Chain A
Amino acid sequence: MSVEILLGIDLGSTTTKAIALDRTGRIIGRGITNTRSNYEVASQIVREEALVQSRFELVRHALAADPELSGIEKRFIGSLVRNFRRQQHLAQLEFLESTLHRCADAPRYAPNREAVKEVLNRICDAMRSRVPGHFSELSVRKSDFFRDLAAADYMQFAEQFSESKHASFDVLCGLFDAAILEVENAAGDGAFERHSGPALEQTLATAPPDIREREARLRSAVESVRSLEFQLLGMVGTGYGRQRLPFPKEQIRSEILCHGLGAHAMFAGTRTVLDIGGQDTKAIQVDGTGIVTSFQMNDRCAAGCGRYLGYIADEMNIGLHELGRLAQESTCSVKINSTCTVFAGAELRDRLSLGQKRPDILAGLHRAIMLRAMSLLARSGGISDEFTFTGGVARNPAAVSALKNLVQQNYGVRTLNISPESIYTGALGAALFAQRAADERTVA
């Protein structure tokens, strides 16, 4: 059996997103991963991710359709996905470990090789022991990307286990930087094939009785989805790195067009779109059908883009997810003097060492990025009703509340639309373009 799907891929500077639609235009899978230097690998991984999610979605449909299984599907799939992610993470960790050891075989480490490898073993063991915690039911992960999770754990244990004489923190950091690059740029394949089996076994083994007694039916539901084939009807790429996607030219659309269409698909009343992505900020005006009528983009400076916040999060050694939440605890926002992203990072460090509160500084940084966005919006033709905010930064609650305040002050009452899936707006637009192309082919 096979399922027809359409794919949209948005290769951004920080994250790469994919959306899978079924033939009717319904979203069945989303994928996201961090962008890496090998764009082909990034797009391959994100595509795989979207297909994995599509399969989980199809399992859910299968369970919901079966009267004997409906009702338990949410718990069962939740557990299945967690076990799947854990398997996947462990496999990557194993790959990272062997790569670390190979990197440590370089001649420069020869004098201390034994000591370095010994410490690497201890770090990797400690990292493995963390994995169940990362994927337990109630855990809040700092990030969903292997790179971020592994880096945070590795750095913590490296600091703990390093010893200045033979295996210094500096050496350990250098090894990680070299190894993670290699791990990330190796393409993973057949993730669902490989990990869904063990994940299913674990899920059943730890399941409560009401799930276990339906084991046979559950097995066959998962099995039927596993053997399902996807038939790709069309694929369109967009985003910052679109020129480098391994697609023919006619399958590439500009991100302005995709964001306009994607925002229109999410909220039909949209007239103004603000998209704050990794390295550009776009203010777009669209007409009633989602076609772009005017737009403005930021100039070549990272201040005012998502990368600004990403840089700050790196600087503070926290996940990008946590940044906004932390800023919302602010009681008295600080005014940030630096425009430059790197200098804002230094200003943050200075202010912290002077004893100012993290939330207050962060609130100031969020307001700074929104002030830059407001000037772009003004140049593109202002903010009309309805106003849709998309891109990764729209998931950040502190950025949203800073934006709301500024819109209220400058334009009065406006309907502000934000979808929880707004990071996928560009990919959705791209997938819709793919669908249009497929429709045209069918008609012709």
Chain B
Amino acid sequence: MTDRDSILAAGIDVGSSAVKFALVRTAADGAERVLALHNERIRRRELRKVIRDGYEAFLETAGVRQNDIAYTASTGEGELVDFRRGHFYGMTTHARGAVFLLPGTGAVIDIGALHARAMRVDERSRVMAYRMTSQCASGSGQFLENVARYLGIMLEDVGPLSCEAKNPESVSSICAVLAETDVINMVSRGISRSDILKGIHLSMAGRYTKLLRSIDACGDVAITGGLAADIGLCRALEEKIAEEKLAMRVRTHPNSIYAGAIGAALWGAYRHRVLARRTEVVA
């Protein structure tokens, strides 16, 4: 095997509520292509099994065998991926995935189920500065998911509903768990689901804007992580940024939620080439 060949690499991003899989092909000339993606929600099932079964099904659908894959990389809570070859830290994989999906990205905000992280990145997707939310789940994705459950809304409907809001209701409570009760209160006061969701989105966006400011982000900001698929949250973030007159532009990509998995696969392919080159030199 030489580094002139094109190789396949898989990335597995284990989050706290979903596992994301990506399969990429990279060529020696630097061309990189995503071949397949898959998102598997955990739903309180046994995580190891979700990862293993999800990965097998993913490869089968993609029509490749494990033997064809040069490097299987994990990211996120990847310790449970016992068949991985290497693990990459979440921040570097999200940076890599975001720059790949949205070239020209200057900052990334990764919004997952439990944490949000803002990073400033350069054009080679190096992380120059970062800031994370503290040890409190207020305004996290998990919280939004709980609220959606309570309102009887499918997760994919949250964004569109939020966009229809007319009078967003501000969420007073800070705690994620107590805010849930606030939501029950709002429902009983007859506030529409759209206005509730938009209020939550705005309060979350306020926190993320603060994170982005603290790392001096400017230019194109890519949203990654599970909540990148939430159009309502993206809109709310745009609104907050406009309100504070910050020099940022929010961008998302249809595959933004896979940024971590794609980044892991790309870094895996890269590491594989470096290792292969070294072996060649030694030989």
Contacts and interface: CB of A to CB of B under 8 A. Distances in A.
A339 B47 contact: no
Interface in B171-209: 173-178, 181, 184-185, 187-189
B166 interface: no
Contacts of A159: 45
B88 interface: no
A145 interface: no
Contacts of B143: 342
B188 A353 contact: no
A278 B181 CA distance: 10
A10 B224 CA distance: 44
Contacts of B137: 340-343
Interface residues of B, number: 33
Contacts of A173: 43
Contact of A35 (B44, B114, B175, B184): B184
Interface in B49-83: 77, 80
Contacts of B188: 37-39, 241, 244
Contacts of B150: 37, 181
A419 interface: no
B177 A341 contact: yes
Interface in A287-328: 300-303, 307-308, 311, 315, 317
A301 B135 contact: no
A342 B177 contact: yes
20 contacts: A13-B184, A173-B43, A177-B149, A180-B152, A181-B151, A244-B185, A278-B181, A279-B177, A301-B136, A301-B175, A302-B175, A302-B177, A303-B175, A307-B177, A315-B44, A341-B176, A342-B140, A343-B136, A346-B114, A350-B77
B155 to A, nearest CB: 8
A238 B45 CA distance: 39
B1 to A, nearest CB: 35
Main secondary structure of the interface of A (DSSP, over half): helix
B44 A317 contact: yes
Interface of A: 13, 35-39, 159, 169-170, 173-174, 177-178, 180-182, 240-241, 244, 278-279, 300-303, 307-308, 311, 315, 317, 338-343, 346, 349-350, 353
Contacts of B45: 159
B48 interface: yes
A37 B177 contact: no
Given A307-B181, A311-B177, 10 more contacts: A35-B184, A159-B45, A174-B154, A279-B181, A340-B135, A340-B136, A340-B175, A342-B140, A343-B135, A353-B47
Nearest to B136: A340
A178 B48 CA distance: 29
Contacts of A36: 184
Given A338-B135, A353-B47, A181 B152 contact: yes
B135 A339 contact: yes
B41 interface: yes
B142 interface: yes
Contacts of A170: 41, 43
B6 interface: no
A35 B80 CA distance: 38
A300 B41 contact: no
B252 interface: no
B170 to A, nearest CB: 14
Contacts of A339: 135-136
A342 B142 contact: yes
Contacts of B255: none
Which residue of B41, B45, B152, B154 has the most chain A CB atoms within 10 A of its CB atom?
B152
Contacts of A181: 150-152
Contacts of A182: 152
Contact of B114 (A178, A303, A315, A342): A342
Contacts of B177: 279, 302, 307-308, 311, 341-342
Given A317-B44, A341-B137, A353-B80, A301 B114 contact: no
Given A37-B187, A38-B188, A338-B135, A302 B178 contact: yes
